[in-house]
Structure 1
Amino acid sequence: MGVLLRWFGAFGLLSATFNPTQWNFYRWAEAHYSTQLPLTVLLGLLLAVAFIIYIAATLRSLGAFGMLLVAAVFAALIWVLVDWGILSTANSSLNIWLGILALSLVLGIGLSWSILWQKMSGQATVDEVDE
Structure 2
Amino acid sequence: MTGIALRWGFAFVLLAATYNPTRWNFTRWAADGYPDNLPLAVLFGLILLVGYVIYLRATLRSIGAFGMILVAALVGALIWVLIDWGVLTLNNPTLNLWLGLIVLSAILGIGLSWSLVRRRLSGQLDVDELDE
**Displacement after TM superposition at 1:33 (Å):** 0.8
Residue number in structure 2 paired with 1:120:
121
Which residue does 1:108 correspond to in 2?
Answer: 109
- Tell me how far apart the structure 1 counterparts of residues 20 and 103 of structure 2 sit (CA, whole Å): 13
- Confirm whether residue 46 of structure 1 aligns to residue 54 of structure 2: no
Q: Is 1:129 equivalent to 2:130 in the alignment?
A: yes
Q: 2:65 is matched with which residue? A: 64
Residues in 2 aligned to 1:73 and 1:82: alpha-carbon distance in whole angstroms: 14
Output one character per residue of 1:86-128: Cα deviation in whole Å (capped at 9) or x when no partner.
Answer: 1111000000000000000000000000000011111111111
Q: What is the rounded CA distance, in whole Å, between the counterparts of 2:121 and 2:92 in structure 1?
A: 37
Cα distance in 1 between the residues matched to 2:3 and 2:110 = 11
Work out the CA distance in 1 between the residues paired with 2:125 and 2:55. 21
* Superposition CA RMSD, Å: 0.8
Identity of aligned residues (%): 60
Q: Structure 1 residue runs of 4+, over 6 Å off?
A: none
The alpha-carbon deviation at position 130 of structure 1 amounts to 2.5
Structure-1 separation of matches of 2:15 and 2:54: 13
Distance 2:31 2:53 in 1: 22
Aligned length: 131
TM-score, length of structure 2 as denominator length: 0.96
Amino acid at match of 1:87: L
